[in-house]
Amino acid sequence: MEESNLKYLKKAQDRAPESLEKLRKDVEAIVANVAENGDEALKSYNEAFDGCKRRALRVSGAEIEAAYAGLDEREIADIRAAAANIGRFAREQRRTVADLPLPTFKPSPGVRLGHRVIPARSCCCYVPGGNYPLYSSALMLAIPAKVAGVPRVAACSPAMRGTDRINPRTRDAWEHNGEVILADSIDEAIANDRAPEHLEVQTRAAEIRLESEDLGA
């Protein structure tokens, strides 16, 4: 498509080199702070970026149950239907990725080659939230991971701006597809590589939102 035929609804502002350098330093400072101070740093950024003052980062079962009150039957049915379709497709995809057991392939005498498909032990999925929730990400990320055989699937999603709650649709979408969901928007895993068993309290997905600067809002 030619440039003249494109219609931009909103363009990102061009960044000057000095602005990019400042952004890099700001991100480095955040990552270093989270690496050093852990959850306390995460909670302070939650409040600074989202106005979220919650102290428990893990979303409780009671919060997930309460999310249903904010959804009508059609929304819940649509989420369930989407989850079923994604699951069916993920299972079909999984069938196309098979083991090549030894000694099936012998390229030359004395040489035997093969491979095994081994799922990761744990993964953390980032579900966009805040002002621009994308709860379908909870389905699109968690369901293929579970179908692939990942034993533990966690997620994190920032709270709705100015509240201590994540989007109720995100909570509903996650309920039957993962083990843990965290109300947070910074990734400590970037700063501090933790073993999978620590993902529940230590792994966060990275989002440093500079919406006003990036989009000129």
Q: Is the pTM of this model over 0.75?
A: no
Beta strands at 111-115 and 100-108: parallel, antiparallel or unpaired: antiparallel
Q: 83, 139 in Cβ contact below 8 A? A: yes
Q: In this predicted structure, what is the pLDDT of residue 86?
A: 93
Task: Measure the CA–CA gap between 52 and 166, rounded to whole angstroms.
Answer: 10
Task: Measure the CA–CA gap between 24 and 161, rounded to whole angstroms.
Answer: 24
Q: In this predicted structure, what is the pLDDT of residue 91?
A: 94
Q: In this predicted structure, what is the pLDDT of residue 217?
A: 33
Q: In this predicted structure, what is the pLDDT of residue 182?
A: 63
Task: Measure the CA–CA gap between 50 and 131, rounded to whole angstroms.
Answer: 9
Matching CATH number, 33-215, of 3.40.640.10, 3.30.565.10, 3.55.40.20, 3.40.50.1980: 3.40.50.1980
Question: What pLDDT, in 10s, does the model give residues 61-119?
Answer: 788 778 777 788 898 889 889 999 999 999 999 999 888 888 778 889 888 888 888 89
Q: Which residue has the tokens 């700001």?
A: 26
Q: In this predicted structure, what is the pLDDT of residue 68?
A: 74
Query: Helix or strand or coil: residue 208?
Result: coil
Hey, which residues does 112 pair with through a beta bridge?
Answer: none
Q: In this predicted structure, what is the pLDDT of residue 210?
A: 30
Q: Go through the chain and tell me how many residues it has.
A: 217
* DSSP code at position 196: G
Q: 52, 159 in Cβ contact below 8 A? A: yes
Burial of 209 from C-beta contacts in 10 A (0-12 / 13-18 / 19+)? middle
pLDDT block averages, 10 residues each, the chain of length 217: 71 80 88 88 85 83 78 87 93 90 85 88 84 84 91 84 82 68 52 34 30 33
Q: In this predicted structure, what is the pLDDT of residue 94?
A: 92
Q: Which residue has the tokens 């709860």?
A: 135
Q: In which element (H, E) is residue 100 found? A: strand 100-108
Q: In this predicted structure, what is the pLDDT of residue 90?
A: 94
For the chain, domain boundaries: 33-215
